[in-house]
Amino acid sequence: MMYTHNIVSRWMFSHAQIISQDMGISSMNLISSILLFRILTIFLQQQIVKLNEYIRSPKGVSDTQYKTIARRFVEEIFNERKTDAAKNFVTPDISYHGMAEEVKGLEEFKKWVGEDLSAFPDMKITIVDAFGEQNKLALRWALKATHDKDFADFPATHKKFEAHGVEILHFEGDKINEAWTVSDLSVLAQ
């Protein structure tokens, strides 16, 4: 696309004198008009790119809104243990890709969260960083908890621990449709 614009610009400037003579105006006025037209074209192209990004973002949800939804999701579902509120944050056909499991569907997701909350009854997740674009968001988080029940082939230690991880969320509209998590579970073996 840029190549085409450059060809058009070169053609316009190379023919400015011929065109200006045919129109009865000075070359400088024509070149000034062409430059103004070019600047306006670039500005409009930038606005079209922004509009396309807005349109591609489902329901016009902004990056800031996705971050707010993700923070509320973590706070209500995991920290406040309101697993029934999951329907407010995830789609009915949620796909969750964990370190050792794949969860499909809202009911399976709620069951999986319940099992995590049972294994780590005092779990507290803090979002350290969040960034993304369009309908994808990455979260870097820290987790503090006590390992009270067996979890992912790690026997319960009844010790407090801290873990860190990353969550990648893919939104459909204003709800999470797919998620991937990566964390260091080796702290459970210590």
Q: What sign does the dihedral 51-56-62-67 (CA atoms) show?
A: negative
pLDDT digits (tens, 9 = 90+) for 103-140: 999 999 999 999 999 999 999 999 999 999 889 999 99
Cβ 91 vs Cβ 72: under 8 Å: no
Q: Predicted confidence band at 21 (pLDDT cuts at 50, 70, 90)? A: low
Instruction: Give the pLDDT of residue 80.
Output: 96
Q: How many residues make up the chain in this entry?
A: 190
Q: Predicted confidence band at 188 (pLDDT cuts at 50, 70, 90)? A: confident
Residue 81 phi, psi dihedral angles, 5° rounding: 60, 35
Structure tokens at 111: 């069951």
pLDDT of 184 higher than 70: yes
pLDDT digits (tens, 9 = 90+) for 30-74: 666 667 677 867 877 777 776 666 555 555 678 889 999 999 999
Cβ 146 vs Cβ 124: under 8 Å: no
